[in-house]
């Protein structure tokens, strides 16, 4: 039985951006909400009664670092930018509603996280992000000269 991993109470309908691991369904993927928030999602536990998923909010910059392997998958979840993750428990019985809760990284057991050192290794170009108007102005001035 496959849960609806893209319709999450509290986050709304999510759209998959990229699937990194697929096994009968996406099990590691990036997705975005209708408002443009990016998440990295991983299936952490599955049994006869329920599926458990972790979602971590990521900036576009951090997602690029994860995609390139500069940040491993373990740390992507264990050290979230926002300081918390979302855990969704999806029961298979149709009477019980899925439960989404905000959790701290230290509330996750290690066996629910990707193995330390496990990385994506997508060939992508990571562009430096200029952080403020002064840096942008400097770069424009250098291009003009």
pLDDT digit string (tens) for 35-75?
889 999 999 988 889 889 999 999 999 999 999 999 999 99
Instruction: Please give the Cα distance from 72 to 79 (Å, whole number).
Output: 10
* Rg of the chain (C-alpha set): 18
pLDDT at 133 over 60: no
- What are the b/e assignments for 40-52, b being 16+ CB within 10 Å? bbbbbebeeebbb
In this prediction, residue 125 carries a pLDDT of: 58
Look up the pTM and report it: 0.79
As a whole number, the mean pLDDT across the chain is 83
């Amino acid at each position: 039985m496959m849960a609806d991993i893209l319709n999450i109470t509290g986050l709304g309908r999510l759209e998959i951006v990229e699937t990194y691991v697929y096994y009968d369904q996406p099990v590691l993927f990036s997705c975005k909400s209708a408002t443009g928030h990016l998440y990295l999602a991983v299936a952490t536990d599955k049994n006869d009664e329920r599926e458990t998923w972790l979602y971590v909010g990521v900036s576009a910059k951090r997602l690029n670092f994860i995609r390139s392997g500069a940040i491993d998958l373990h740390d992507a979840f264990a050290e979230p930018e926002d300081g918390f993750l979302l855990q969704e428990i999806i029961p298979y019985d149709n009477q019980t509603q899925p439960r989404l809760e905000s959790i701290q990284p230290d509330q996750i057991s290690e066996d629910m996280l990707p193995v330390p050192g496990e990385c994506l290794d997508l060939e992508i170009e990571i562009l430096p992000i200029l952080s403020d108007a002064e840096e942008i102005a400097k770069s424009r001035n250098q291009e003009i000269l």
